[in-house]
């Protein structure tokens, strides 16, 4: 379903046909630019096909639980276990568990079949896993679901608590199901959640789901997981580290996180080299660094119908480093410390559609070094910097978007040389090139300009409404568009023709 339209009283009486034209100050560019009409039929595009979300339900999750074989519970040392090597390698991380367990660290292993929280309580002493009150359990050791095994924490469990003092956390190397329950990082000294303190330096329990695994969370509340350490960010679905993956050769991990709430995590969600993960209908609130953060070479993701707000350090939703062929649709992202939605570091062929992105403390939707993406029908409103910002990205298509009442520009396109930054140019290459097509939609009441673009390879504009200029001088384009404003607006607004702005390359020098 598309978001409802937004009433914009500021637009009344500010029709673009009567707005005075104001010439922006000229700037220096590598090329001179020309303005000409473009074929309209080449710009036509049908509304994008969205994935069918009807099958991603709690009932479908419950149907996946393998109930035919019961598993077993064993406790053994954490050392030399593949699923734990990332957390026991090096003296510092190993010391963490030795100090918390007061001895050689151990973990609970689920093997051979399906185990529930009730099974764990029956199999283990209270010092390792205890039912504190009916349906409320606390784990005082890490819990590892082995390959070929499954853990289900369901509605019979009102809450599963993971002891911070004792160093508990969850590792999934098989199948994990959390349904109709609560999972909370628990500070026993306070008899309450292990809320963030010490800016992420202090250990907090976390959940990680490794290569070859499947993680399913439905209709649950997950609270206060994660801290600033590798693979320990909160709720993570991640391939093994490169050396481990080369040896184990596990498939890309996957999972569904649906209709749940994620609160006060270091990262609300993180994935790495994951496939076909579904993040649907969740609330991500008051997380620390990011709300939703798919990363490196994850693909086929569906991020849909989530509400993401109150992220304290950075962005609400971000995909970064070759996260391709994915859908970010029908989400609401607001009141985050930086941008609402970010497409970053060579993430391509993604659809960003029908999102409502408003009141963020930086840009609304930001694209950095990520070409071949489509933005369709988004509402980008009242953000503190630009509505839609595009840097060093080619072939960006913006169709039927509303960018209004942002404090700077409605659509801002620019290039930047990043070679003087701390960026790893081998890992994250870039080109200082920007090009875009803007068709339909409305740019209204933005603080500095409806559109500003510097040094583009090309820009095409068609059927773009520009309303309610904030300046008394009227509509004022910026960048190269400002230099050619009279020609652009004559074609686009008066003649209602598509406009192509592209550079005139200089004639080659002859002897």
Query: Which residues does 490 contact at the CB level (< 8 Å), separation at least 6?
Result: none
Percentages of the chain per state (helix, strand, coil), in multiples of 5: 15, 35, 50
Q: How far is CA 199 from the centre of its chain?
A: 21
Q: Which of 111, 122, 123, 120 is closest to 70 using CA atoms?
A: 111
Looking only at Cα atoms, what is the longest distance across the chain? 91
Distance CA(93)–CA(99), nearest Å, equals 10
Q: Is 386 annotated as catalytic?
A: no
Identify the sign of the CA torsion 351, 355, 360, 363. Answer: positive
Instruction: Using CB atoms within 10 Å of the CB of residue 62, give its burial: 0 to 12 exposed, 13 to 18 middle, 19+ buried.
Output: middle
Q: Would you state the structure tokens that stand for residue 437, as one six-digit string?
A: 């097509």
What single-letter DSSP state applies at residue 119?
A: H
Task: Give CA–CA dist 277/282, Å, rounded.
Answer: 14
Q: Token digits for 273? A: 């080299």
Inter-residue contact 253 to 300 (CB < 8 Å): no
> Is residue 274 within 8 Å of residue 209, measured between CB atoms?
no
User: Is 348 in contact with 369 (CB distance < 8 Å)?
Assistant: no
Task: Give the C-alpha distances (Å, rounded to integers) separating 310 from 175, 265, 380, 483.
Answer: 31, 12, 17, 39
DSSP type of residue 105: -
**Set 295, 358, 386, 414: catalytic member:** 295
CB 209 within 8 A of CB 47: no
Report d(CA 462, CA 38) in Å as an integer.
9
Strand intervals (E) in 305-424: 307-309, 317-320, 327-329, 332-334, 341-344, 351-353, 356-358, 365-368, 374-376, 379-381, 388-391, 396-399, 402-404, 409-414
Residues acting as catalytic residues: 295
């Amino acid at each position: 379903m598309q978001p409802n339209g937004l009433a914009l009283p500021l637009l009344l009486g500010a029709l673009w046909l009567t707005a005075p034209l104001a010439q922006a100050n000229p700037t220096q560019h590598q090329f001179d630019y020309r303005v000409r009409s473009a074929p309209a039929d080449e710009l036509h595009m049908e509304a994008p096909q969205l994935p069918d979300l009807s099958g991603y339900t709690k009932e479908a999750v419950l149907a996946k639980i393998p109930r035919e074989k019961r598993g077993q519970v064993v406790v053994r040392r954490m050392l030399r276990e593949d699923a734990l090597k990332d957390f026991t390698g090096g003296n510092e991380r190993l010391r963490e568990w030795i100090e918390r367990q007061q001895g050689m660290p151990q973990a609970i292993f689920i093997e051979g079949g399906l185990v529930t929280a009730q099974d764990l309580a029956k199999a283990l002493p209270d010092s390792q896993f205890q039912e504190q009150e009916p349906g409320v359990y606390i784990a005082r050791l890490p819990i590892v679901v082995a390959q070929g095994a499954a853990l289900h924490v369901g509605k019979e469990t009102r809450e599963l608590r993971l002891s911070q003092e004792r160093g508990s956390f969850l590792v999934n190397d098989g199948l994990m199901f959390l349904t109709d329950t609560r999972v909370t990082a628990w500070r026993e000294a306070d008899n309450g959640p292990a809320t963030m303190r010490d800016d992420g330096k202090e250990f907090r329990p976390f959940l990680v789901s490794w290569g070859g695994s499947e993680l399913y969370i439905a209709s649950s509340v997950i609270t206060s997981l994660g801290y600033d350490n590798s693979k320990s960010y909160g709720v993570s679905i991640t391939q093994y580290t490169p050396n481990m993956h080369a040896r184990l050769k596990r498939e890309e991990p996957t999972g569904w996180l649906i209709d749940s709430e994620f609160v006060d995590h270091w990262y609300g969600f993180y994935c790495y080299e994951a496939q076909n993960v579904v993040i649907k209908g969740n609330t991500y609130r008051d997380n620390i660094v990011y709300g939703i953060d798919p990363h490196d070479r994850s693909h086929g993701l569906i991020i849909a119908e989530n509400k993401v707000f109150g992220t304290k350090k950075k962005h609400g939703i971000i995909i970064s480093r070759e996260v391709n062929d994915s859908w970010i649709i029908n989400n609401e992202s607001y009141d985050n410390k930086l941008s609402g939605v970010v497409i970053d570091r060579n993430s391509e062929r993604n659809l960003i559609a029908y999102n409502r992105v408003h009141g963020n403390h930086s840009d609304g939707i930001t694209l950095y070094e990520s070409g071949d993406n489509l933005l369709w029908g988004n509402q980008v409103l009242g953000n503190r910097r630009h509505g839609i910002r595009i840097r060093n990205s080619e072939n960006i298509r913006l169709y039927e978007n509303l960018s209004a009442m942002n404090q700077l520009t409605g659509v801002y396109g620019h290039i930047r040389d990043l070679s003087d930054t701390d960026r790893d140019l081998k890992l994250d290459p870039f080109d200082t090139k920007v090009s875009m097509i803007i068709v339909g939609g409305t740019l209204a009441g933005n603080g500095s300009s409806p559109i500003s673009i510097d040094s583009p390879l090309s820009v095409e504009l068609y059927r773009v409404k520009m309303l309610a200029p904030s300046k008394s001088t009227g509509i004022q384009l910026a960048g190269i568009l400002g230099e050619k404003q009279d020609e652009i607006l004559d074609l686009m607004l008066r003649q209602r023709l598509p406009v192509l702005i592209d550079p005139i390359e200089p004639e080659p020098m002859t002897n």
